[in-house]
Amino acid sequence: MLDFRQIQNFVAVAERLNISRAAEVVHLSQPALSRQMQALEKRLGLTLFERVGNRLVLTAEGEDLLRGAVALIDQAQHLVDRSQKLQSGSVGLLRVGATSQTIARLVSPTMVRFRESYPLVDVILSEGDNDSLLEMVDTGVVHVAVAAFSNARGLAGTKLFEAALRLVVPPGHRLEGASAATIADIADEHLMLLRRGFLTRQLFDLTCASSGLRPNILLESDSAETLACLADDGHGIAVVSTSARPVRDAARTIALHNDGAPIKGDVYAVWKNNRSRPACLADFVSCLARQAAPGGPAAGAPPVGL
């Protein structure tokens, strides 16, 4: 394998066609640089330079190799520049996981804000339910996810918001206009739920188990929007979650309580503690937190499915 310094010195000589001037640039003595060029020719089995009178000229082979050597040096410099930018976080790749609803309502507008400061960072999205998002973080598929978590897997996080359970009831339903309802109030209703793996479903199932209720499930879905649309059309009650922000029809979106208190869980930006993370991750999490804050840019968003 060729020594990179030798290649750089070859370019210095080839561009100047003068050993003395090239030696000054590369900080070698003239005899040492001459010996190095002779060693390079021997290593390659080619004649790179010729003497024409008092002038040094490149052979055809030397001219051909010069183009490749210059490209190689330029590429090496690009890698150095790129590594410095990666270290600062100004360029690179950030992989983010969230549910489809959270991507639409929180992550997407966060990306717009984040891009203002990091236009050269590519944000790659992955979607899934809460359980699969934690698995993605744990296995390194994503650098950060918006999810509920425990620190059992060595995960860490910054709290973004509280997700409280809400019911979306059909138009004209007996609960329409109520401020809150309980599990007992919907015991005989057709229910549309997010499938298992979502935080919303976990909170709902735990409440049902503690109340001894076996829910009458009409549909399990990945989409909170689908559930809400089915409720709008009168097919049953949708169980969704929200960060306690206003929704499109407040009279038909009712808080679900248990023992007189809202049923809710904390949602975080989650990452793996012992894994290398992009330098820009902290600023992305800060953007998420500002976007999710009460009264922040995301205020007024529809229900979020987690």
**CATH number of the domain bearing residue 23:** 1.10.10.10
- The single residue listed with the structure tokens 């790129």 is 82
Each residue's pLDDT tens digit, 270-288: 999 888 888 899 999 999 9
Q: How far apart are CA 126 and CA 99, in angstroms?
A: 8
My answer on whether 275 and 255 are in the same domain is yes
My answer on whether 134 and 266 are in the same domain is yes
- The single residue listed with the structure tokens 């929180």 is 106
CB 99 within 8 A of CB 127: yes
Each residue's pLDDT tens digit, 95-141: 999 998 899 889 999 999 999 999 989 999 999 999 999 999 999 99
My answer on whether 52 and 64 are in the same domain is yes
My answer on whether 162 and 215 are in the same domain is yes
Q: How far apart are CA 196 and CA 167, in angstroms?
A: 17
Say which residue, 301 or 46, is predicted with more confidence: 46
Of the candidates 129, 259, 255, 242, which has an alpha carbon nearest to the alpha carbon of residue 196? 129
State the CB neighbour count (10 A cutoff) for residue 283.
17
In the chain, the number of structural domains is 2
My answer on whether 218 and 102 are in the same domain is yes
Q: How far apart are CA 169 and CA 176, in angstroms?
A: 7
Residue type, 40: L
Residue ranges of E strands in 80-136: 91-98, 120-127
Q: How far apart are CA 27 and CA 257, in angstroms?
A: 77
Say which residue, 150 or 87, is predicted with more confidence: 150
My answer on whether 43 and 167 are in the same domain is no
At which of 67, 88, 109 does a domain end? 88
- Scored b (16 or more CB within 10 A) or e, 8-20 reads ebbbbbbeeeebe
Cα within 13 Å of Cα(251), Cβ side: 8
Q: Where is average pLDDT lowest: 4-13, 51-60, 211-220, 295-304? A: 295-304
Domain range for 39: 4-88
My answer on whether 103 and 156 are in the same domain is yes
My answer on whether 224 and 136 are in the same domain is yes
pLDDT at residue number 76: 83
